[in-house]
Amino acid sequence: MSSDIPDAIVVTGIGAVLPTGRGPEALWTAWREARPALSPYRDPYVRSRRITQFGHVPDELQKLGRDSVPHKLRKFGTPFTFNAVLAAQDAQRQAGESWEAIPEERRGLYVAQDDSTDLGAAAFTKALDKARTDSSAQVGADLQRVVAEAFGNAATFNPFTVIRALNNNTLALVSIAERFRGDCAAFVQDAGAALSALQRALFSLRNGHCDTALVVGAGSYNEALKLAGLYRAGQLSAGGHGRDSLRSFAPDRDGTVVGEGAVALVLERAEDAVARGARPLVEVLGTRLRPALDGGVGPADLAESARTLLAAHGMTPDMLGAVLADGKGTVHHDTAEIELLRTLLKDSRVPVSSVRPIVGTLGAAGPLAELALAPDLFAAGELPPIAHLSMSPDEGTDFVTGSARKRRIDSVLSLHSTFNGFAGALLAKRPHTI
Amino acid sequence: MTRRVVVTGLGAVCGLGLDWQTMWDGLCQGRSAIRAWRLPGVDDFPVRYAAPVDDEAFAERYGADEELNRPMERRARFGLAAAGQALADAGFDASGTPGRVGTAVGSGVPERDPHELLHAVSEDGRPSWQTLYARRAGLNPASGLLCTNDALAASIARRHRLRGPALNFSTACAGAAHAIGHGLRMIRRGEVDAMLVGGADSVLNLPTMTGLHLLGAPSTSELFGDRLCRAFDRDRSGLVAAEGAAMLVLESEESARRRGARVYAELAGFGSSLDAHQVTAPHPEGKGAALAMSRALADAGVAPEQVDCVNAHGTSTPLNDPIETRAIKDVFASGEHYRKLAVTANKTMLGHLIAAAGAPELIATVLSVRDGVVPPTLNLENPDPACDLDYVPDKARYREVSVAVSNSFGFGGLNASLVVRGHEQ
């Protein structure tokens, strides 16, 4: 493994607002205890018998998120952008007081966001409600009348809806609330967005475009049309096992359970972190994101892509301490991932686990949540098992089942795929100072 | 590794035309795509002008293209068409370069069909998934997964077998400029050899236009007819929305030379910044905009005095234009160089393509450098004292343009600037 490369980038602060609670420790504990944070789907505007389980951020934590945002900014945000601000504040706090001395113009902000939940059915219905329109007999028949009533003026349609609908909403709110004026980027491509945001942050730090980078992943799948689209595509579990319904790699898996959350990471050059007395928590080596299965690129190509990522850092697959698989729990994704893992790891006995059954499919926050777990993996020297999985789905790959695998872990590769056909990987290792 | 990056392919679909040549000809001739417009199904919608793509002409040109006629959002259709044009223009075949050619696009708000939203409303006036599902036969087939924000990047990668990184930027009206700028960085440092970059957007639908209208962004004036987009004019009253897409092929100079590719210009620099001020208003002193321009110039290794032309964001909104003017004056203050700049606002002819806006405007900037022409700012009839630069009013100006800057700024205080320089073959 390469060491002490001059452009080493480390994480010095982590914030997380997830279905498991606040901070990465809550996620780590839930994973170790095999305690899923999935719960029955609920929404003030949507009722469904088919959307059964969801990874909801607890109400009290949502309230904390809202309270963390300056009052004048709240009208521009959505619950998940509020969560992002809270996660950002926690990450900066952990990065230490000396971090605040970095000039605002040198603070880069790189954001991964899910598709907006606004300009969706809920916003539309709020407008209809306010217009006191009974649309039942008119659905699709008298569009002009309904529209005139619901969309006609600011009294029925929130004037900031389009701001909330913009997918740079998280970038805007975090930058204003937390005073970031530097280099920036924002992405929307499910979990792939976080890989892109991380890669651009690494690039900007290594090339001097900023002196610190806050990488934020935030979002929610809780939008009626989005959920309908996912269900229609056969991606969602029927929920027959209640909170245990996301069954990564299990023979009885029948789909994923989507959720919501936000994770923020403070990144900086290792020498800068050490110079200001900050504690590096994990070194981020790099990410890869590629168009996947639909693009004529199969598991073997994706395994090669991951191998290339490892090679760029002087590593081979057998040197890995652990692999965190995506494990969405859909028949299609998991089958492809099993083949990818077999091709990549080839009897190396590198243990493979997944946190997905605990926290659900998080979209933009997902890869960052797994990166946030790395310090605990390094410190505890154990890899918790894949919840609900009693038998390895593949003889050639060491899926961790039953109990945690004790071993020294110095590096972690996490794998990710998106609903729109992208696949990627994220490589991190133990920083040299711990 | 630091490599020079050049532009070798262009593609455009917009109100001015369905290819970059027609668009550029229109810009140079001072033709405007802005016309009287009605939101389909809502005759009394207060926004009366826009710059739509000519659907009939598009169907005539692309009617035989099966892939472009699958159910998809308008922006994706325009984006795919522009991507195909740009790759063909560059003579680029990505199949021999596995993983070394990627794509980066800017996109905005997913297109929501109001019928789809109505279908989601149940009998008791609340959205119900069951109702939606039961009525799924009536749903817009472009809905659901197909209208996720990254659908265009995925479609481009699939169609053209681009196996390198595929990035979907979402930074509002600076989206395309950010996609282009980060594409530049990726090639320059050797992450890839080439990138297809640009943006696509269509906001000319009921939900998004309503949202923009309630925010007060588009002009509702009918005083000036199709001369409504009046960037830097005293009587400007808001943006004029447009739709379309534009794409560029960027590649390393070595790659272009190896292929014997025609080079339009060098993309020399990129700078980005955040205002950290307000969500709906730019920094009053234009600090973020100035920082983006300064960074782009430094990135290109260009002194402000070397710049001949600024392709302004120029939205025709009351706030943007004087603040952008102030930012330009700050950046080019030395020797009052701002007095020598030709500043142009393409939106007076193209309208505002929102997330895609930076892409056609970069194409215009590239062609200004190549051809020595600065397109005019139309409808600048009554100058605003707060906007006191040379905006090239009314008619295109023929002058040498060695270095030019293109600006894009977005809601939320996001700024991106790109620097284009002439390239000797």
Read off the pLDDT of residues B331-349 as tens digits, 9 standing for 90 and up: 999 999 999 999 999 999 9
Q: Which residue of B has its CA nearest to A286?
A: B191
Q: Give every residue of chain A whose pLDDT is below 70, as ranges.
A: 1-6, 45, 117-159, 161-162, 292-297, 433-434
Q: Is residue B121 situated within a structural domain? A: no
Q: Which residue of A has its CA nearest to B145?
A: A229
pLDDT at residue B139, as a whole number: 47
Read off the pLDDT of residues B252-273 as tens digits, 9 standing for 90 and up: 999 999 999 999 999 999 999 9
Would you say residue B73 has pLDDT above 90? no
pLDDT at residue B214, as a whole number: 79
Q: Report ipTM (2 d.p.).
A: 0.92
Domain range enclosing B323: 5-110+148-421
Q: Is residue B9 situated within a structural domain? A: yes
Within 8 A of B169 by CB-CB distance, chain A residues are 185-187
Domains of chain A: 9-116+166-429 (3.40.47.10)
Q: Is residue B118 situated within a structural domain? A: no
Number of domains in chain B: 1
Region B129-139 average pLDDT: 51
Would you say residue B22 has pLDDT above 50? yes
CATH of the domain at B106: 3.40.47.10
Read off the pLDDT of residues B53-64 as tens digits, 9 standing for 90 and up: 999 999 999 999
Q: Is residue B73 situated within a structural domain? A: yes
Q: Confirm if A337 and A326 have CB atoms less than 8 A apart.
A: yes
pLDDT at residue B137, as a whole number: 42
Q: Which residue of A has its CA nearest to B134?
A: A228
Q: Is residue B137 situated within a structural domain? A: no
pLDDT at residue A146, as a whole number: 52
pLDDT at residue A298, as a whole number: 74
For A265, the token pair is: 């990471």
Q: Is residue B115 situated within a structural domain? A: no
pLDDT at residue B280, as a whole number: 87
Read off the pLDDT of residues A255-310 as tens digits, 9 standing for 90 and up: 999 999 999 999 999 999 999 999 999 999 999 988 764 555 578 888 988 999 99
Read off the pLDDT of residues B287-342 as tens digits, 9 standing for 90 and up: 999 999 999 999 999 999 999 999 999 999 999 999 999 999 999 999 999 999 99
Q: Is residue B131 situated within a structural domain? A: no
Within 8 A of A78 by CB-CB distance, chain B residues are none
pLDDT at residue A428, as a whole number: 98
Question: Closest to B276 (Cβ–Cβ): which among A45, A104, A124?
Answer: A104
pLDDT at residue B413, as a whole number: 93
> One of B28, B147, B173, B387 is an active-site residue; which one?
B173
Region B99-115 average pLDDT: 81
pLDDT at residue A233, as a whole number: 82
Across the interface, whether the CB atoms of B128 and A154 are under 8 A apart is answered: no
Would you say residue B155 has pLDDT above 70? yes
Question: Closest to B189 (Cβ–Cβ): which among A76, A136, A203?
Answer: A203
Q: Is residue B127 situated within a structural domain? A: no
